[in-house]
Structure 1
Amino acid sequence: MGPIWSSYYGNCHSLLFMIDASNPTQLSASCVQLLGLLSAEQLAEASVLILFNKIDLPCYMTIEEMQSLIRLPDIIACAKQNITTAEISALKGTGLSEVLQWLQDTHRSHS
């Protein structure tokens, strides 16, 4: 899907980017995709929520491990966007109310 994402950037005020917390082999590919999105000029004003999903699985990496592996503090320091993170389980619904609250708050600030 990545190659066509730019078709959807117009008038985008918020970006949710999901990372599979149970799959360390895909973490570097996810980071590359994230950096590509953050460098897109059309998304310079978008608020970004990075979702670390699948925290319900016994093999998930902690948020600290993932942030360290993708060097998230460095990404946040260099990004134009406001970046927030959340741990979720889409399967069990863990953290989803916080995601909805973030979306509401972000939408209000852009209205």
Structure 2
Amino acid sequence: MGPIWSSYYGNCRCLLFMMDASDPTQLSASCVQLLGLLSSEQLAEASVLILFNKIDLPCYMAMEEIKSLIRLPDIIACAKQNITTAEISAREGTGLAEVLAWLQATHRAKG
């Protein structure tokens, strides 16, 4: 879907970007997609929540390991957007209340 994402950028105030925290290869590929999104002028004002999913799996990578692998501090430092991260399990529902709270707070702030 990556190549057509720009068709959906209009009026985007929040961006949720999910990464598979259990697969280092997939994390690297997702990071490339994320960098493309963050470089879009249409998304320069959007708040970004990066969701690290599958924390319920035994092969889940520690957050520090993930941050190092994708160079998250560098991405945050260079991005125009406000970037927040959350660890979730979509299957078990872990962290989803925090995601909804972030969406609500961000929507109010950008009102």
Q: TM-score range by the shorter chain?
A: over 0.9
What residue is the counterpart of 1:69 in the other structure?
Answer: 69
2:48 & 2:42 partners in 1: Cα distance? 13
- Residue 23 (str. 1) matches residue 23 (str. 2): yes
- What RMSD over aligned residues (CA atoms) do the two structures have, in Å? 0.5
**How many aligned positions are there?**
111
Deviations 1:41-85 (CA, angstroms, capped at 9, x unpaired): 000000000000000000010111111100000000000000000
Q: How does the TM-score come out when normalised to structure 1? A: 0.99
Matches within 5 A, 1:68-107: 68-107=68-107
2:4 & 2:16 partners in 1: Cα distance? 16
2:92 & 2:26 partners in 1: Cα distance? 22
- Residue 36 (str. 1) matches residue 33 (str. 2): no
What residue is the counterpart of 1:50 in the other structure?
Answer: 50
Q: How does the TM-score come out when normalised to structure 2? A: 0.99
Identity %: 85
- Which structure 1 segments of 5+ residues have no match? none
